[in-house]
Amino acid sequence: MNKAHIWLRAETKPQEQRTALTPNNAKQLLDAGFEVTVESSRQSIFSDRQYQDIGCDIVQQGSWVDAPQNAIILGLKELPEATFPLVHQHIYFAHVYKEQQGWQALLTRFNQGNGKLYDLEYLVDENNRRVAAFGYWAGFAGAALATLAWANQHAGMQPPLKDINAYSDKSQLMATLSEAIEQIAVKPRVIVIGAKGRSGKGAVDVAKELSLEVIEWDLAETQKGGPFAELNDYDILVNCVFISGAAADGSSPAFINHEILSSKQRKLAVITDVSCDPYGAYNPLPIYKECTTFKSPCLSIIEGESPLNLIAIDHLPSLLPKESSEDYGQQLLKHLLSLGDTSTGVWPKALALFQQKVAETKL
């Protein structure tokens, strides 16, 4: 099997310090006979020197546009905006298959250049399960921010979070949380919905590491249908359930609503919606209509003496770029190692979906 040339594109999205290929993973590709080129990046959590020291070629940021045509361009987030035809094979999260803004223009560029897209979101196994995901660290970061927001609420801060920056590693984040919690006489009670999934496990682990009481809900606890008034008994709610369709009876009950939240007995003070689908028809938390950001992390759902804030950031793993990149990169690595033959493994299905979507732009 021929060994591919993988070209790691520098991320340009603001505050995106994650990468799809860590220095450790790059070394494993080099050891397997691959050629690995890495674009210089000032914002990556990993330095150019770390890649250079293990034998990667370091090139100028953005030079992928002039890369050899056989190079496979690997990235994480969207390409910089442009109009020129795309001639390479690309691997990244393109966010164009659900007719998101600009989807036709991007796919037309691939069609014009005869390039190919292997979308990371749609690399799936024989059971149509994604082979690599950031889910665990999304849940971990979501629960961490909810805990910090709760502590800041009790300290009188409003909004309880603003201008968030990524942490250098998990230990720095947990030290910040521990210090914040220690300043409060009481400890928050946490409930995680979707606790058995990847995101849910990450959220639960935060609570356990901080020795907080955590209740774990999953399908058995939610199958009766909401809304669930008992959620008001907890201080922090972390939702890790993404609902893509109605129930068998056609219903789509919410986990919580404004009527329940208006109760005078409400203790619930912070909600993190890890699944973050405010625009979807089946959003189980229909109490907000927009995502939040690292700059403005919290929406104020209820103000006053008993405030309720909601966090809905759609790139939560960026809070911990080192651990989330290491975890994701290790999941992806075995599939990158098969790139010498894209007619096998996860690649044919991803290519077929790309070709289907390109055809739809011509209708």
Each residue's pLDDT tens digit, 148-178 = 999 999 999 989 999 999 999 999 999 999 9
Q: What is the mean pLDDT of the chain?
A: 94
Is the domain of 281 the same as that of 185? yes
Of 72-81, 130-139, 276-285, the least confident: 276-285
State how far the Cα of 311 lies from the Cα of 153, in Å rounded to an integer.
13
CATH number of residue 43's parent domain: 3.40.50.720
Residue 248 has pLDDT above 60, yes or no: no
State how far the Cα of 44 lies from the Cα of 61, in Å rounded to an integer.
12
Q: Are 359 and 20 in contact (CB under 8 A)?
A: no
Which amino acid appears at position 171 of this protein? S
Residue 363 has pLDDT above 80, yes or no: no
Instruction: State the residue range of the domain holding 176.
Output: 135-314
- pLDDT at position 101 is 82
Is the domain of 143 the same as that of 277? yes
Tokens at residue 205, please?
């682990």
Is the domain of 291 the same as that of 173? yes
Is the domain of 341 the same as that of 269? no
**The one catalytic residue among 27, 95, 187, 196:** 95
- pLDDT at position 242 is 79
Which amino acid appears at position 343 of this protein? S
5 is catalytic: no
162 is catalytic: no
**128-133, long-range: CB within 8 Å, 24+ apart, which pairs?**
131/331, 131/332, 131/335, 131/346, 132/328, 132/331, 132/332, 132/335, 133/198, 133/328, 133/331
Residue 247 has pLDDT above 70, yes or no: no
Task: Give the SS3 label for residue 239.
Answer: strand
pTM of structure: 0.92
